[in-house]
Amino acid sequence: METIGVEVVGLSSAAHNQYHETCVICEALKPKGIHLYTAFICTECERDLIHTETHDPKYKYFLKQLKKITTPEIFT
What are the pLDDT digits (tens) for 2-38?
Answer: 444 333 334 444 454 578 999 999 999 999 999 998 8
What's the rounded Cα separation, in Å, for the pair 72 and 8?
33
- Residue 10 near residue 24, CB atoms below 8 Å: no
Distance of CA 49 to the CA centre of its chain: 12
Is 74 a residue whose pLDDT tops 70?
A: yes
Reported pTM: 0.68
